[in-house]
Amino acid sequence: MALLPSVLVFLAATVIAVPLFKRLKLGAILGYLIAGIIIGPNVLNAVNDPETILHFAEMGVVFLLFVIGLELEPKTLWRMRNQIVFTGGAQLFGTALILGGFLLALGFSVIIAIVIGLAVALSSTAFAIQLMTEQRILHTPPGQQGFSILLMQDVAVIPILLLVASFSPQVTDAEVPWWMAAGTIVLVLVAGRFLINPFLRVVSRYGSTEVMTAAALLIVLITALAMEQVGMSMGMGAFIAGILLADSTFKHQLETEIEPFKGLLLGLFFIAIGMNLDLQLLVDKPAQVAIATALLVALKAGVIFVLLRLNKQSNTDSTRVALMLSQGGEFAFVVMTLAVSSQVLAADLAAMVNLVVGISMALTSPLVIIYSLLYNSKNCPAVYDTQRESPEPQVIIAGFGRFGQITARILAANGIAFTAMDKDAEHIEFVRKFGNKVFFGDATRLDLLRTAGIEHARILLIAIDDPQQVSALATMVKHDFPDIQVIARARDRMHAARLARLGVEHITREMFSGALDASKQVLSAYGYTPGQVDYMTQVFTEHDINMLRRTIEQDMSLPDLIANSEQGREELKQLFDEDKREISANTP
């Protein structure tokens, strides 16, 4: 089938199925799977060669792992090491041991039991992460326990593939030497640590938005393909690259640029999984498929539930996470493909495993929803028994020049977390040397602002020095996030009036406070007492605020503003004259 008609079929299937399944509260992923089944060879046969499409769509998983890596700073990963090794390891090997034992009892060989047991013990990282994110449980303690299980599974994919290849009766000399694989990993680590940030600084300074998008894709693809060439997982390479960039000033920018590609390719990935399922097996052996699927889901959920309870999570949270991770994973398809090509498994047995895994994926969202309906008053509630382990900063500073840094320093001195954004890469790198956490990015882009956490913020300080960008950002935030308190930097009186009409509650004229301080010093040097200085500046401040309020309320044009200023100067002169008379009258 030609490329454009295939793309048309995929887009139509996505646009129809996903909104429908989300409307039914069954989740987008189940919509993708069902869409794949319908357009695949089992029903409409609208798209040919689903295996090739699946191989291409695996890039969605690669991009997902890169974004996950961006969210994991090395210190966070090190802090989770015990959860990853012990909780994740116990789930993987415990599930594989139990399922492998069942297969041995059914008469399968030890090798087949090991391969299938390990393959189906892997959950779907793409499925589970997206589901936990939708349910807002990913960043809670039980969600982090589930995430550590997924990380251990991703790390174990490479050893499992190597183990399956070692079981092959075929003799091959094509294996990559261990030193080449180790050298590639070292090269990725060195490049991520010393080369990528300078490269991105050059791109941000001389390139455009499109070039930054191309740079983000280039980083992910080069890393993934380099790891694949030495026999490693493309996803693992992207994950490592993401971790290395987790502390980068370009973190939010990279995540924003990758997000559309990740979303589309993940959708294509799940559609391709649906297309590759052999539904004829479900017709021929319905009882076997149903029992195998129920066994897989029940055993995986049971093992994960026990592990989370041992880690002192509540019954409610443990059950939710267990159900979200109870399915087989996308890497099971990879393991089965390798096992068949290596003559370790028969094709019909691998097809049965693939079907069971696919059905277990389709059952996950309904199981979570049914559990929520049975044990909660609301469907899939966003409030859990435990609080977030690492809450998002509730203050965002847009623009990190001299104006924004003053507030940032005060916040940091008082232990208040904030996220700062600026689009001057060289400026950011200089500021970071002093311990500030600031990221590269244009705050007037809504997608980038979302990535920076605007949905979790309570306060936005707009400290950008361009009045037009300040107004544009204020307009966007007041429209899309009306509950956020906006504090904006105004260039002058006219700009302050425009911001006030946009609904900005707190406005700071950038020169006003500094000019008042200077005038106080001038008056003191002239000979006035501190009390007189404070009084004179207070009178002026109140008068100026009243003039600004009048400008806003009357929506004055420029001629009106000039006339108002002349009137204001006359009123101010009268006030000062009255003050002089009072002071003279009270002076002995």
Residue with tokens 């409610």: 316
Sign of CA dihedral 561, 564, 566, 568: negative
Q: Is 447 exposed, middle or buried (0-12, 13-18, 19+ CB in 10 A)?
A: middle
Rama region for 124: left / alpha / beta (φ>0; ψ in -120 to 50; rest): beta
Rounded mean pLDDT of 467-489? Answer: 90
CA distances from 5 to 9, 10, 264, 482 (A): 6, 9, 17, 42
* Confidence at 287, pLDDT banded by 50, 70, 90: very high
- In whole numbers, what is the pLDDT of the chain averaged over residues? 81
Whether 138 shows a pLDDT value over 90: the answer reads: no
Amino acid in the structure at residue 130:
Q
* Confidence at 406, pLDDT banded by 50, 70, 90: confident
* CA-closest candidate to residue 339, choices 328, 352, 358, 327: 352
Q: For residue 340, give both structure tokens.
A: 């068949």
Residues pairing with 420 in the sheet? 397, 438
How far is Cα 497 from Cα 553, in angstroms, rounded to an integer? 9
Rounded mean pLDDT of 86-96? Answer: 93
DSSP per-residue letters across 355-413: HHHHHHHHHHHHHHHHHHHHH-SSSS-S--SS--SSPPPSEEEE--SHHHHHHHHHHHH
SS (H, E, C) 213-235: HHHHHHHHHHHHHHHHHCCCCHH
Longest dimension (CA), the chain: 114
For residue 576, the model assigns a pLDDT of 64
Local structure of 460: helix, strand or coil: strand
Question: Which residue has better confidence, 376 or 72?
Answer: 72
How far is Cα 181 from Cα 124, in angstroms, rounded to an integer? 26
For residue 386, the model assigns a pLDDT of 40
Q: For residue 507, give both structure tokens.
A: 């406005």
* Confidence at 387, pLDDT banded by 50, 70, 90: very low
Rounded mean pLDDT of 451-467? Answer: 88
- What's 86's DSSP letter? I
Lowest mean per-residue pLDDT among 160-174, 526-540, 568-582: 568-582
Rounded mean pLDDT of 542-550? Answer: 78
- 391-510 is classed in which CATH architecture? 3-Layer(aba) Sandwich (3.40)
The winner for highest mean pLDDT among 323-337, 345-359, 486-500, 568-582 is 345-359
For residue 588, the model assigns a pLDDT of 43
Whether 69 shows a pLDDT value over 60: the answer reads: yes
Give the domain ranges of the chain: 3-375, 391-510, 512-588
The winner for highest mean pLDDT among 368-377, 411-420, 423-432, 545-554 is 411-420
* CA-closest candidate to residue 357, choices 418, 278, 446: 278
pTM for the full predicted model: 0.66
H and E: helices and strands count for the chain:
28, 6
How far is Cα 158 from Cα 143, in angstroms, rounded to an integer? 24
How far is Cα 13 from Cα 584, in angstroms, rounded to an integer? 86
Lowest mean per-residue pLDDT among 222-231, 244-253, 379-388, 575-584: 379-388
CA distances from 178 to 141, 157, 163 (A): 37, 17, 15
Lowest mean per-residue pLDDT among 47-61, 150-164, 385-399: 385-399
* Confidence at 170, pLDDT banded by 50, 70, 90: low
Residues pairing with 476 in the sheet? none
- In sequence order, what are the residues at sequence separation of 6 or more whose Cβ sits closer than 8 angstroms to the Cβ of residue 307? 87, 90, 91, 94, 145, 149
CATH 1.20.1530.20 fits 3-375, yes or no: yes
* Confidence at 49, pLDDT banded by 50, 70, 90: confident
For residue 116, the model assigns a pLDDT of 94
Whether 390 shows a pLDDT value over 60: the answer reads: no
Lowest mean per-residue pLDDT among 179-188, 390-399, 404-413, 554-563: 554-563
For residue 575, the model assigns a pLDDT of 57
Rounded mean pLDDT of 253-269? Answer: 82
Residue 146 burial (CB count, 10 A): 33
The winner for highest mean pLDDT among 365-374, 477-486, 534-543 is 477-486
How far is Cα 212 from Cα 423, in angstroms, rounded to an integer? 12
Condensed to tens digits (0 to 9), the pLDDT of residues 300-330 reads: 999 999 999 999 888 888 998 999 999 998 7
Local structure of 154: helix, strand or coil: helix
Whether 459 shows a pLDDT value over 70: the answer reads: yes
Condensed to tens digits (0 to 9), the pLDDT of residues 3-32 reads: 678 888 888 888 888 888 878 767 677 788
Condensed to tens digits (0 to 9), the pLDDT of residues 494-538 reads: 788 888 888 888 888 888 888 888 888 998 988 888 988 888 888
For residue 423, the model assigns a pLDDT of 81
Rounded mean pLDDT of 343-372? Answer: 88
* Confidence at 584, pLDDT banded by 50, 70, 90: low
For residue 538, the model assigns a pLDDT of 86
DSSP per-residue letters across 518-581: HHHHHHHHHT--HHHHHHHHHHHHHHHHHHHHHHHHHT--HHHHHHHHHHHHHHHHHHHHHHHH
Residue with tokens 């890169």: 66
